[in-house]
Amino acid sequence: MAASDPVAQFELARRYHRGEGVPIDYSEAMRLYRLSARQSYSPAKEMLGLILSKPDPAEPLGVAVSWLQELSMARVAGSSGGLEGVAAPAREEDLLSDLLQWRVGTDIGRPLVP
């Protein structure tokens, strides 16, 4: 693997993350995801973002092992990024936006405030 090849770094990170042909090593997987993401490889940036979206300061890597296990089988869809097989954690602003859209959709013609 070339030291500057973000695709190869990402693929090796996935192998360590999943334990495919190598022992599972989340620390090495994180290191390789970071290297790949620093070179602007979108799938690595997305995976790293998902991994870091559920911090757990009590864990050595700062992330819950159960979350790393869940993400290990997520598939990256193509070179444009996108992860399949796992739902990104909901963000508060997404929930508010969804509520407002629902409310506007059900209250057409009526003011939102009584």
* CA dist 107 → 85, 95, 111 (Å): 34, 18, 7
Our CA dihedral for 23, 44, 59, 66, rounded to 10 degrees, sits at: -70
* Angle between helix 42-51 and helix 65-72 axes, rounded to 10 deg: 140
Return the pLDDT at 114: 44
Q: Using the structure block, give the residue that is written with the tokens 């090593």.
A: 25
Using pLDDT thresholds of 50, 70 and 90, give the confidence band for residue 54.
confident
Which stretch of DSSP H or E encloses residue 106?
helix 92-106
More confident residue, 69 or 86: 69
Return the pLDDT at 12: 96
Return the pLDDT at 72: 86
Question: Residue 38: is its pLDDT beyond 80?
Answer: yes
What are the sequence ranges of the domains in the chain? 6-86
Per-residue pLDDT reduced to its tens digit, 70-107: 888 877 654 444 455 555 554 444 555 555 554 444 44
pTM of the model: 0.65
Q: What gap in Å lies between CA 10 and CA 7, rounded to an integer? A: 5
| Number of neighbouring beta carbons within 10 Å of residue 15 | 17
